[in-house]
Structure 1
Amino acid sequence: MPSATKKVTVTRRSTGRYLATNARGGQIRFGTGADEEFSPVELLLAAIGGCSSVDVDQVTSRRTDPEQFDVTVTGQRIIDADGASRLDPVGLDFAVHFPDTEEGREAAGLVERLVKLSRDKTCTVSRTIESATPVVFKADGEPLD
């Protein structure tokens, strides 16, 4: 399968406030978490939940629209002995409910399998994190030591 390079540009708006722009022109404002704007960690949690939400929603909504579709994503921030911080563990909790109709029962019957499929195969975001994908930092195009 051909690879597709994804790209987002982050631009400083002011101290601690940024604008992420994708190749299609979509934009998200974010910051340090000192105000109502999302922090980078919250964006990461949203990306994990959003990725799996799309996986589940794309299939189930072909049957019927859900009455409730909420995914709560949590991450415990820990600080390692060397002072480095990370999230461990990250958890997703799906609350997806459908009308009590034939289509709704059919859609509801798919949720657990689709969540597992997302976890194991189709969610690029969570699978990237779990695979410990290297992140290469550069300054003015030059890799850092």
Structure 2
Amino acid sequence: MSASQDPTPRTVELLRSATGHYTARNAAGAQVAFGQGEDLLSPVELLLAALAGCSAVTVDTATARSAEPSDFRVEASGRQIVDENGGNRLEGLHLSFHLAFPDDAAGRKAAGMVERLVTLSHDKYCTVSRTLEHGTAVRHDVSVACAADDTR
């Protein structure tokens, strides 16, 4: 294992608050609500947000050292399909970066970095896009209990 690899597993806990309504929480206590319904991102939209966010962090961190952007938007899109095995998945994932910087030396320096940073993010730094492109197995285990004193 190289010195840059972090063997610590990344984890989130998902809690159900109502039918189709969930909260994901990390060990530090940060959380996001999602699910099905008004004012909620769907799980697929969260995946797209993670994809956009992962690349955005790389671009933002580096360019902000030179200039604060006046506009910073990343659109993530994809088409949900049913594949040849009858399974749902996304295809045609695409990120579209829309950035603006001040028209001064620092802003032009930041603007000149964006294309290279987006490429580096895709090719090297963004764990989300690299995992999606390379694929990885998803395993699971299940524990179910029926409690006699359940008052729900």
In 1, the alpha carbon distance for the partners of 2:121 and 2:24 equals 26
Aligned to 2:74: 71
The ranges of structure 1 where at least 4 consecutive aligned residues each deviate by more than 6 angstroms after the TM superposition are none
Please show how residues 19-98 of structure 1 align to structure 2 within 5 Å: 19-32=23-36, 34-98=37-101
Distance 1:95 1:125 in 2: 20
- Higher percent of residues as strand: 1
- Larger Rg, first or second structure (1 or 2): 2
| In structure 2, C-alpha distance between the alignment counterparts of 1:78 and 1:68, rounded to whole Å | 32
CA distance in 2, matches of 1:103, 1:4: 37
Q: Deviations over 1:62-116 (max 9, x none)?
A: 0010011000000111112332110001100001111100000000000000000
Partner of 2:103: 100
Letter in 2 for 1:4: T
SS of equivalent residue, structure 1 residue 139: coil
Out of 8, 31, 46, the position equivalent to 2:12 is 8
Q: How many Å apart are 1:4 and its aligned residue?
A: 2.5
Aligned-partner residue type, residue 85 of structure 1: N
What does the per-residue CA deviation read over 1:47-72, in whole Å, with 9 as the maximum and x for residues that have no partner?
00000000000000000100110000
Q: Distance in 1 between matches of 2:38 and 2:10?
A: 28
Take 1:49 and 1:18, find their aligned partners in 2: how far apart are those partners? 21
* Equivalent position SS for 2:79: strand
Tell me whether 78-87 or 22-31 shows the greater mean CA deviation.
Answer: 78-87
Calculate the TM-score normalised by the size of structure 1: 0.93
Aligned to 2:133: 130
Give unmatched runs, 5+ long, in structure 2: 145-152
1:35 shift after superposition: 1.7
Aligned amino acid, residue 14 of structure 1 = A
